[in-house]
A and B are shown apart, each in its own frame.
Chain A
Amino acid sequence: MGTIEDRARNFLSVLRHCQLLGITVEQADQDGLVLKLPYSDKIVGNPVNGLVHGGAITTLMDTCCGISTVCFLTEFEICPTLDLRIDYMRPAQPGEAIYGFAECYRVTPTVIFTRGIAYQASREEPIAHVVGTFMRMGKPDAAGQPSRTIDGGAA
């Protein structure tokens, strides 16, 4: 079982693409999750000004919203993303890490509604606002397979 932060770290540790981007857990408790995406040249989307690609921010926030489910669920469940929306408030400062905060604001037996903010210096100056909805597939069996078949969502 472990603490919420342990479970968030375990969850993140198996996501290979997140390791490629260097995403780490900053903080996790019952109020939500903070992940960190370090700046690197390989995630640049605009080679002229060095701005981070929206795809890397989407990956940070999809991961953050998805793992924020451990702040609410006491046992691990596989929760594929149903949908995700990102609104870009301002460009991220090149060269600096981007943080993602996410929280579950409504949990039902079938879906989990999450929302989050991507930011750098302060959460009061968001780079992006995010909302994401996740499916509850139930607890995995001994082989690691979810109790409901996944054909309705991505990881």
Chain B
Amino acid sequence: MSQDAASIETLIRQAHDSGDYEPLIDAVPYAKLIGIQVQALGDEVLFRLPMSDDNIGNPVLPAIHGGVIAGFMEQAAMLHLMIFMNSPQFPKIIDFSIDYLRAGLKKDTYASCQVWRQGRRVGNVAITAWQNRSNEPIATARAHFKLD
């Protein structure tokens, strides 16, 4: 599966230059598996997880698997931090903490991020995910990343 580092670095640089991060996110197999999309809106970045049967956990509600919501938010945080720092590489996850506030129903999910602190070695990112309205989050999370 592994692609050479140089081609990924080129993909990252092209994404930073063009502001189009779709080709980069498509190069991350897990992001492609669950179907993450990214859209730059001016200086803001919006992440979208389109509704998919394959992402369902609880079949009764039905609801998106909590792990998929977490994976979506972790990937959003990572890419957001890369965009924020204009970083040439993927930051490494240190820890991730998520609070589930409402069931993630079988519909499109959105996420946006906020970098609260970017130190020399560690970055702190808060993530909010919602479906109907951004002020009714289905989950909030925060992650620390190692910046090398």
Contacts and interface: CB of A to CB of B under 8 A. Distances in A.
Contacts of B15: none
Contacts of A41: 1, 29
Interface of A: 14-18, 20, 41-50, 52-56, 58-63, 66, 78, 80-88, 91, 94, 140, 144-146, 150-155
Nearest to B68: A17
B103 interface: yes
Contact of A62 (B65, B75, B97): B65
Interface in B32-65: 32-34, 53-65
Contacts of B30: 42-45, 52-53, 55-56
Nearest to B36: A55
Interface string B54-86: 111111111111111111101100000000000
A152 B2 CA distance: 39
A153 B103 contact: yes
B contact patch SS: mixed
A62 to B, nearest CB: 4
Interface residues of B, number: 52
Interface of A, secondary structure class, is mixed
A148 to B, nearest CB: 13
Contact of A58 (B5, B54, B71): B71
Contacts of B103: 80, 150-151, 153-155
A44 B1 CA distance: 8
Given A42-B33, A45-B28, A54 B1 contact: no
Give 6 nearest A-B pairs by CB, closest first.
Answer: A55-B71, A59-B67, A155-B58, A53-B30, A155-B57, A41-B1
B137 to A, nearest CB: 11
B60 A83 contact: no
Given A17-B57, A54-B96, 7 more contacts: A48-B3, A55-B74, A81-B66, A145-B60, A154-B100, A154-B139, A155-B58
A154 B71 contact: no
Contacts of A151: 102-103
A101 to B, nearest CB: 16
Given A58-B74, A154-B139, A47 B3 contact: yes
A128 to B, nearest CB: 9
